[in-house]
Chain A
Amino acid sequence: MARSWSLRRGHASGSFPHPGTVSMQSAWLTLLLGFAIVAVVALSAWFIHHHADDTESATGPTVAESPTLIAGALASVRPSVTPESAALRVGLEYQPLSDAALARTSPLFGQAEARLIGIYRFIQQSKPREALREAEALALDHPNFQLAQLVLGDLLNLQTRPVKQLGDVADTQALAAAQQLQELREQSRRRLAALTERPPEGAVPSQFLALSSSSRHAIAIDASRSRLYLFENTAARSSDARGRVSAAQMKLIADCYMSVGSAGVDKRNEGDLRTPLGVYHITSSLDPEKLPDLYGAGALPLNCPNALDTQRGNTGSGIWLHGSPSEQFARAPQACEGCVVLSNPDLQSLLALVSVRTTPVVIATELQWVRPETLNAEREVFEATLASWRELKSAGDLAQLQRLYSPRFNNRGQALADWWPRVEDEVKGKGARAQQVKDLSVLRWRDQDDTLVVTFGEVNEGSRRGVTKRQYCMREDNQWKIMFEGTV
């Protein structure tokens, strides 16, 4: 007994920061791993403190409080909020993992994640027993939640030896599954980052210039954080008869971990294992009974390739938001063939809420969060263009109307000259009646081009029913030009 404990203690003091150097070590690790290291440092500090006198004691592990060490370790790993920090740059704000903060972090999604974070918090509070008990319960409920199993392994090992890092597995296991281990650590890091770097109350992703009241929900995905954000549209009726709209009024009601393609994002070609970036819409909901196990609890296909993808010659279809296979509760940050993958419970929550065809899905490398009012100026510039379009079309001034369309116009391969007769027919068909635009949504997508994805209802005066139209407008010479137009 004495021999093994003295060896273990020697091991601990050799591999771990001496209490006096915890802060320096931790600061260094913070740079590398970010907040995820909190758990590990806290564990180590607990272990060092707790096992310091085991040579003399045969009574085995008992919970020992070491507030000073833990507090010191935590203080030094808490991300410092500086103007340069990546989270602040994109409009997120730091929020510590407190009970109140987690309660605000909606419980609609991510029950399993909330439990995992609860375990991390027990570790933070140097309550390894409670952490172990909760980890066992979580692993029992979700045996396929690999990250929970990894944390459970660490907490079990902590009963007898120090834990150096998250997933302190035997070397052989680390070698046999190096990638899986790295992915689990990354998953943990991203989940923690998403829960500590939060959008401020009322902030929206900068893509949402306007959101029609016909869209009850909207989805935005931040691939760099492996996070899906679900918004409820709180606008009563956001556009009046003249098509004027107010700023998007969206309330973040849930967010959850998700995975993208194994080769990352920015899909160009069918089979490149990437998830497309851009503004998409859910087109349908597929019956999980008829899907292979890989798709889990269901699938929501997106309109990929969209008009912009087609215009650019990008291929790749069958991009879905879908669930997870039975053997994996959550997939690695980059795992599938180009879809957006959620855990099954999260997907089921999503299925229960969102309506098909009216839910926009923005997929970005990194979301930029802004106050909705800051988008007013940009939106108003576009609204002026849309107003001219409506007026010219109402007046039947085809020559002037055509000047609002881009030479790059492309409707499923049709150039403007080939497609134009449709507009002529429409204008003739409605006769002298004016047109109304209602239920306007404007989503902006900026990459090498500056594009607006515009969806609205077009109703002829005196008609009760109209059509839903979608236009893709591109900024050319500081003017918005219609690059695509079609009915939805």
Chain B
Amino acid sequence: MLPPTPSLPQPPTCRAYRLSSWRQLAAATLVCVSLGSTAAWAQADEYAEVNRLLRAGQLNEALAKTDQYLSSNPRDPQMRFMKGVIQTESGKSADAITTFTKLTEDFPELPEPYNNLAVLYAIQSQFDKARAALEMAIRTNPSYATAHENLGDVYARLASQAYSKALQLDTDNTGVAPKLSLIRNVFATTSGSKAPPLAVVAKQPAAPSAVVAAAPAAAAPAVPAAASAVATGGQPGVQSAVAAWAKAWSNRNMEAYLDAYAPAFVPAGGQNRSAWEADRKARIVPRSRIGVEVNDLSVQVNGDRATARFLQAYTSDILNVSSRKTLEMVKRGGRWLIVRESTGS
């Protein structure tokens, strides 16, 4: 994979293992599912509500909502698809695989469930299955760009595995690494220019996208004008802390990377600190190349607490992914340290 070109305007994309979002499916299924206009509106509301809950991170509520809806509309492909996405997001891979598999059986003409099935298989390092699913997606829709790109990444992984066997290198178990980025990234994903702009994009400070994307990673402290307006005092310190964190991650300098996190840092997903650190090491150290670019940074400072929001472009030898990232930081001993890290909004 090649590093992205910072100079080209580009919407946030996940260039590896793009999950299809429900929006793409909606366009297809609304045509198939023939409903009166009122019913369609009501339905759209239900979808919107599930989506809102999802984005708010209320996964259990979102799942309950889909189950409630599906109890009366058990075949509805769009809601079932959303359920699969929620299950993926909740880490219930097996359930999500079941959901998407059944969708492929009931609606074999839809490419999106195949695509997401492939993403789940890829996360489990089952690249042969991922490839088969993507080939099905492409067979159902030969111009499905997301599946083509995902397939390209799966080919690259399969090639890497074959090379490892050829060179008798230990087969790297790095298929795990893309997992969280992928799942968190579901709703920050678009597929080319055809998809409507996503909420997370629309919520950005009103900088034209060309300006946003033009801010190169290396110049992370050079925040776009719109972001600067949002920020208040203490901001330069936060900016350089974020830049240092991204640099340590890029250099795979674990000491500096972990040092960017406060002792009070709470890992996402209920992990304890030592398990989280081990997890991070396992994912960062084996990479031959990592690049973390920070774009479109906005900083809000409130006394000794700060929130940094930005577009994170992660590239490595195996995965390229862009996602929204939020770092909550505290100032301790003159340094800004991360206390919470979240992705997706």
Residues on A close to B: CB < 8 A? 1, 3-4, 7-8, 11, 58-60, 139, 143, 146-147, 149-150, 152-154, 156-157, 159-161, 167, 169-173, 176-177, 180-181, 184, 327-328
Contact = CB atoms under 8 A, between A and B. Distances in A.
Contacts of B143: 58-59
A125 to B, nearest CB: 21
A59 B10 CA distance: 21
11 contacts: A1-B192, A3-B5, A3-B10, A4-B2, A58-B143, A59-B142, A150-B166, A170-B317, A173-B169, A177-B167, A184-B166
B4 A177 contact: no
A11 B2 CA distance: 9
A152 B167 CA distance: 12
Contacts of A170: 160, 163, 288, 317
Contact of A153 (B149, B166, B192, B317): B166
Q: Contact residue range for chain B?
A: 20 to 34
Nearest to A172: B288
Contacts of A167: 163, 166
Contacts of B288: 170-172
B227 interface: no
A171 B288 CA distance: 9
Nearest to A58: B145
B163 A150 contact: yes
B15 A150 contact: no
A138 to B, nearest CB: 11
Interface stretch (B53-61, B151-159, B242-250, B260-268): B151-159
The 6 tightest CB contacts between A and B, nearest first, are A172-B288, A177-B167, A153-B162, A156-B159, A150-B166, A149-B166
Contact of A173 (B10, B156, B167, B192): B167
Given A4-B2, A60-B138, A156-B158, A180 B164 contact: no
Contact of A1 (B149, B162, B166): B149
A150 B151 CA distance: 20
Interface in B108-158: 138, 142-143, 145, 148-149, 151-152, 155-156, 158
A269 to B, nearest CB: 30
Contact of A157 (B10, B155, B167): B155
A180 B164 CA distance: 11
Contacts of B163: 149-150, 153, 167, 169-170, 173
Contacts of B152: 159-160
B278 interface: no
Contacts of A146: 165-168
A169 B167 contact: yes
B8 interface: yes
Given A59-B143, A160-B155, A173 B168 contact: no
A155 B167 CA distance: 16
A106 to B, nearest CB: 27
Nearest to A175: B288
Contact of A139 (B5, B138, B162, B167): B162
A146 B166 CA distance: 4
A60 B4 CA distance: 20
A156 B5 contact: no
A177 B15 contact: no
Given A4-B2, A58-B192, A59-B142, A149 B162 contact: yes
Contacts of A327: 168
A157 B159 contact: yes
Nearest to B15: A4
A146 B155 CA distance: 18
Nearest to A148: B166
Contacts of A60: 138, 142, 148, 151
Contacts of A173: 160, 163-164, 167, 169
A361 B156 CA distance: 45
Contacts of B155: 156-157, 159-160
Contacts of A4: 2, 15, 149
Contacts of B149: 1, 4
Given A3-B8, A8-B2, A177 B168 contact: yes
Contacts of A160: 152, 155-156
B5 A181 contact: no
A156 B165 CA distance: 14
Contacts of A176: 167, 169
Contacts of B148: 1, 58-60
Contacts of A1: 145, 148-149, 192
A63 to B, nearest CB: 14
A156 B158 CA distance: 7
B314 to A, nearest CB: 15
Given A153-B158, A180-B168, 18 more contacts: A3-B4, A3-B8, A139-B165, A143-B165, A146-B165, A149-B166, A153-B166, A154-B159, A156-B159, A157-B155, A157-B159, A160-B152, A167-B163, A170-B317, A173-B163, A173-B169, A177-B167, A184-B166
Given A160-B152, A172-B288, A180 B160 contact: no
A20 B249 CA distance: 44
Given A60-B148, A149-B163, A7 B169 contact: no
Nearest to A169: B163
A328 B168 CA distance: 9
A308 B158 CA distance: 52
Given A3-B5, A157-B156, A160-B155, A150 B317 contact: no
